[in-house]
Amino acid sequence: MTKGLRLRHLSFHGPSRKSATIAFGPGLNVVYGASNTGKSFIVDAIDFMLGGKGPLRDIPERVGYDQIMLAMETLEGQQFTLVRSTQGGAFRLFDGVYSDTLPEGEGTPLADMHSDRNDENLSAYLLVKLDLAHKRVRRNKRGDTNSLSFRNLARLVIINEEEIIQQRSPLSDGNYTADTTNTSVFKLLLTGVDDSSLATAQPRTPEEQSRNAQLDLLDQLIESHRRQVKELAGPPDELEAQRERLGESMRSQGELLAVSETEFKDAAARRRDIARKVEEGRDRLTEITSLLDRFTLLDAHYRSDTDRLRGIEEAGSLFGALGAGVCPFCGSAPEYHRKAECDFDVDKAVAAAQSEIRKIESRQNELGQTITTLRKEAVSFERRLPVLENQLASVSGEIDRVVAPNLRQLRTAYRQFADKDGEVREALAIHRGLSDLEQRKAALEREGDPSGDGGNSLSEVDLPSTTADKFASIVLSILKAWHFPEIDRVHFEAKTRDLVINGKNRTSFGKGLRAITQAAFTVSLLQYCRDSETPHPGFIVLDSPLLSYREPEGDGDDLSGTDLNSHFYGFLAKLQDDRQVLVVENTDPPSDIQVSAQAIKFTKIKGVGRYGFFPVDSAPPAT
C-alpha cells in the first residue's frame, strides 16, 4: 500500500482559554470566509507543527494559548498526536488522536531539528512513515548530498498565501543556493530514486578543504538568514515598493502633522493671549474694587470734615449775632475785654472755615469723578470678563477635544509609519546580507568548479525528460479539468524549473494566474506520485489559490467571469481518500461544497456560525 499521512485535527490550548480546534478529513477540506479570522494562521500553524521554525504570528487572538496539538494518521490507520509549545522548540509524541483535551503524561520527546545521525526527531519520525528515512538529495554539481529532511517535503506541499503568488519557480524558495536541493527532492518524489549513489568528489588539497569549510560556514549563515527572511513581509522588490509607499505616507503624514502642529501652536497662542487678558482683567477689577473701597472711605472723611467746618461757620455766624457777653475764648467780661490780648477773630475763623470747605468740596468733586470713572471701568470689566472666560473655555475645549487629539493621532500614526519603515529597512538589510552570503558562496563554488557554473545549474539534476513530460501532461489535464482559459499545451522547462503554459513562462502571468497555476503544480505532484506509486506526504495545503476572483492584476488576470471556481472545487472533491487537500480561501466555494461536513466558514459575526478559528469568547476573565 502507498505510504502517506493525513491531517486529522489542529488545536490550540491554554490554561484559561477555550480550546480552538479544527478537524480535517480525507479528500477535500475547505476553510473559507471573512478576512482576519485565522484562516491563513491555520496554514502557518500546520507548517509550524510539521517542523517549521516559526515563530508563529503574534496575533491578539493567540494570547493565552501555550500549547498546540496536531493529530495525524497514516494511510495504514496508525494515529498519533504531536504537541508543541507555541514558543517553538521540541515536540512530544502521543499515540492516538487528541483534539479537545491535552493527553496525559510526558509522551515521547522528538527534537525539532533534523539529524541523519539520530532518529529521535520529528523529521526522521515522519520520514519513516513515508518510507523516506535516510534518503539523500544532491546539493551541488560536485555530488555533495544532504540528508533528506521532512522540511524539504513540506515546502512542496504547504503553499502559503505569499508563496502561492511568488514570481519564481515552485521549486525555488528565493535562495538560489538551495535550488539544486529543491529540484533533487522534486525528482525523488517523481521517480522514487534518491541521490545516495552519487559519488562525492573528495577535496585533494588544503585549499579545497579550506574552501569546503568556508562553504559549510556560509551554509549555516545562509540558513540562519533564510529563517529570518521567512519571517519578513515579502521579497526585496515588495519591500522596496512597501518602503516607497511608506515614504509617501510619511511625507503626506508629515505635511498633515506640520499643519496640525501649526494649528495647535496657533490655538495655544490664542489661549495664552485670552488667558493673559482674563488674568489682567481680574487683577484690574480687583485693584478697582480696592480703590473704590478706599475712595468711598475717603469721601466719608471729606463729608465728615465738611460737616465739622460748616459747624464752625454756623457757630461763628451765631456768635456775631449774639449780644455783648463774656468772651468764650479768653473769659473776659465785655467791659474788660481787650482785643489786643485776645487774638481770636470770629470773622477770620468763619472765613478760614469757608475756605477750607471750598477746598474740601473741590477735592470731593475730583474724588467723585474718579469714583464714577472707576465704577464705569469696573462695570466694563464685569461685562468683558465673562466673554473672555467663555472664549478661553471655547479655545481650551477646541484644543482638548479636537486639536490635541488630532495632533496625538497624527504623531502616533507618523511614529508607526517610522517604526514600520525601520522594520522594512532592517528586512532589506537582512535580504542584502543573505544575497551577499549567497554571492560569496557562489564565488567560492565557482573557484572549485572548472565549469564555472558554481555547481548550481539545473543540468546537475538528472530529471528524465519522459518523467518531466508525464508530469507536464498531468498538469495540462488538471488545468483543462479546471477550465483554465484557452489552455492547450503545458511544458516543464528544465532550465527554469517551471511550467511553460501555452508557450508563456508561468512567472510571466499575473499574480492571480500564478496562484492557480502554482496550485495546479502542487496538485499535479500529488496526483503523479499517487498514480505512479512514488513517495509523497499524501496531503497538500493551498492558501488563496483563487486570488484571481478577488484581487486580479488587470483584465488578463481576472477569472471572475469564468467557471473555473466550480470546476476547481469539483475536481478536488472527487479525489480518492488516499489524497488530502486543504484549501483556504476568502471567496465562497460552490453551494454543493459549502454543505459538505469538511467545509468550514468563518463568519466574523458573533452568534452566526463559527466566528473564526479562535473562539470569540475565549478571552480569560479580567483581573
What's the mean pLDDT in 77-101? 95
What's the mean pLDDT in 15-30? 95
Is the per-residue pLDDT at 620 higher than 60?
Answer: no
Confidence (pLDDT) at 357: 86
pLDDT tens per residue, range 278-287: 899 889 889 9
More confident residue, 21 or 389: 21
pLDDT tens per residue, range 218-262: 777 877 776 666 566 566 777 788 788 888 888 888 888 888 888
Confidence (pLDDT) at 176: 66
Confidence (pLDDT) at 251: 87
User: How many CB atoms within 10 Å of residue 127?
Assistant: 24
- Give me the residue spans of the domains in the chain: 5-192+535-547+562-602, 236-303+360-445
DSSP 264-282: HHHHHHHHHHHHHHHHHHH
**CATH topology of 5-192+535-547+562-602 equal to that of 236-303+360-445?**
no
Rg (CA), the chain: 47
192: cell is: 522514487
pLDDT tens per residue, range 299-324: 899 889 888 888 877 877 776 665 56
pLDDT tens per residue, range 133-165: 999 999 877 778 889 999 999 999 999 998 999
What's the mean pLDDT in 77-106? 95
Nearest-angstrom CA–CA distance, 623 and 614: 21
Is the per-residue pLDDT at 110 higher than 90?
Answer: yes
Percentage of residues of the chain with pLDDT beyond 90: 47
Confidence (pLDDT) at 322: 58
Q: What is the mean pLDDT of the chain?
A: 86
pLDDT tens per residue, range 456-485: 443 456 788 999 999 999 999 999 999 999
Confidence (pLDDT) at 20: 96
Cα angle for residues 47, 130, 544 (degrees, 5° grid): 30
Long-range CB pairs of 403-408 (<8 Å, 24+ gap) are 403/260, 403/263, 403/264, 403/267, 404/264, 406/260, 407/257, 407/260, 407/261, 407/263, 407/264
Confidence (pLDDT) at 328: 62
Q: Is 602 helix (H, G, I), strand (E, B) or coil?
A: strand
What's the mean pLDDT in 122-131? 96
Long-range CB pairs of 216-225 (<8 Å, 24+ gap) are 218/437, 218/440, 218/441, 218/444, 219/177, 219/441, 221/437, 222/175, 222/177, 222/434, 222/437, 222/438, 222/441, 225/430, 225/433, 225/434, 225/437
Write a three-state SS string for 479-500: HHHCCCCCCCCEEEECCCCEEE
What are the φ and ψ backbone dihedral angles of 69, each rounded to 5 degrees? -125, 135
Out of 190-204, 326-340, 414-428, least confident range: 326-340
Out of 165-169, 377-381, 422-426, least confident range: 422-426
More confident residue, 377 or 211: 377
DSSP state, residue 392:
H
Task: Please identify which residue in the block is written with the cell numbers 487683577.
Answer: 283
Architecture of the CATH domain 5-192+535-547+562-602: 3-Layer(aba) Sandwich (3.40)
pLDDT tens per residue, range 558-593: 898 899 999 999 999 999 999 999 999 999 999 999
**Cα separations in angstroms, 406 against 67, 260, 265:** 42, 7, 13
DSSP 542-599: EESTTGGGTS-SSGGG--TTSSHHHHHHHHHHT--TT-EEEEEESSPPPHHHHTSTTE
Out of 150-164, 203-217, 322-336, least confident range: 322-336
What are the φ and ψ backbone dihedral angles of 546, each rounded to 5 degrees? -100, 40
Domain 236-303+360-445: assigned CATH number: 1.10.287.1490
Confidence (pLDDT) at 196: 87
Confidence (pLDDT) at 495: 87
Percentage of residues of the chain with pLDDT beyond 70: 88
Nearest-angstrom CA–CA distance, 139 and 441: 13
More confident residue, 39 or 198: 39
Helices (H) and strands (E) in the chain, counts: 12, 16
pLDDT tens per residue, range 511-528: 999 999 999 999 999 999
DSSP state, residue 131:
T
Confidence (pLDDT) at 459: 40
Predicted confidence band of residue 455 (pLDDT cuts 50, 70, 90)? very low
Confidence (pLDDT) at 361: 86
User: How many CB atoms within 10 Å of residue 522?
Assistant: 22
Is the per-residue pLDDT at 452 higher than 60?
Answer: no
Asked if residue 170 has a cis previous peptide bond (ω within 30° of 0), the answer is no
